C-alpha cells in the first residue's frame, strides 16, 4: 500500500507521516517512510525549486515508491507538489493507493512559516515558492482531506488510520 500525503509547505504532512509511521511500524514491519525533503538530500540537493525541478523531484519519489512497493513494502509518503497529472499517475502505477490532502489555509501557513519560506519570498529573497509564485493546485480527488487548523497532527493521523481502507484488518 502507498499512503500519499500532500499539502503546502508547513501544512504538517511530514509530522503526520512520522506519527503514522510510529503508530504502524510495530504492526507492519515492512513499512517505510519517504519524505520529499529527505529524497532531495539523498540526491545531494541537485535540483532547484522551479516548476521543472519539482516535476523531476516527484517523478523520483514516484519511481522510488514504485520500487519499494514492488518489494512488498508499505510506504507512507509526504511531499509538497500536487500536480494533477502526477497525482493521477499515482493512481495508475500504485496497486493500493490512498491519497491524503493535508489542507491548511495560506494565512495559517504564513503565520507558522516553519522554514521561513513565505517570509523570504515576501521579502524578495527567494522565488519558486509553491502557493506564492508557483501555482498550488489542491488535489482534485483525494481519498481524505485533513485540515490542520481544525485538528492536531496526532488527531489527523488518527483520522487517517480510522478512514484508510488498508487498516481495516489492523487493530489500532
**Dist. CA 148–CA 166, nearest whole Å:** 22
The Cα-based distances of 61 to 46, 83, 90, 118 in angstroms read 14, 13, 11, 24
156 is catalytic: no
* Strands 97-103 and 74-79, sheet pairing: unpaired
**Dist. CA 147–CA 8, nearest whole Å:** 12
Task: Kindly state the helix (H) or strand (E) to which residue 97 belongs, with its residue range.
Answer: strand 97-103
**Dist. CA 63–CA 32, nearest whole Å:** 15
**Dist. CA 128–CA 139, nearest whole Å:** 19
Closest to 98 measured CA to CA, from 170, 18, 165, 13? 165
**Dist. CA 8–CA 149, nearest whole Å:** 13
Catalytic site residue from 9, 11, 78, 121: 78
Active site residues: 78
Amino acid at each position: 500500500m502507498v499512503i500519499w500525503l500532500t499539502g503546502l509547505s508547513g501544512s504538517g504532512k511530514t509530522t503526520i507521516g512520522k506519527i503514522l509511521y510510529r503508530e504502524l511500524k510495530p504492526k507492519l514491519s515492512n513499512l517505510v517512510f519517504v519524505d520529499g525533503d529527505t529524497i532531495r538530500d539523498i540526491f545531494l540537493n541537485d535540483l532547484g525549486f522551479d516548476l521543472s525541478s519539482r516535476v523531476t523531484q516527484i517523478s523520483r519519489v514516484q519511481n522510488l515508491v514504485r520500487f519499494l512497493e514492488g518489494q512488498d513494502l508499505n510506504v507512507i509518503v509526504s511531499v509538497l507538489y500536487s500536480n494533477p497529472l502526477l497525482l493521477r499517475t499515482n493512481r495508475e502505477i500504485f496497486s493500493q493507493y490512498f491519497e491524503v490532502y493535508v489542507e491548511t489555509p495560506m494565512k495559517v501557513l504564513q503565520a507558522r512559516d516553519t522554514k521561513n519560506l513565505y517570509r523570504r519570498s515576501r521579502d524578495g529573497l527567494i522565488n519558486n515558492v509553491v502557493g506564492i509564485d508557483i501555482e498550488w493546485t489542491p488535489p482534485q480527488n483525494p481519498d481524505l482531506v485533513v485540515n490542520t487548523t481544525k485538528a492536531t497532527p496526532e488527531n489527523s493521523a488518527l483520522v487517517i488510520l480510522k478512514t484508510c481502507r488498508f487498516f481495516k484488518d489492523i487493530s489500532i
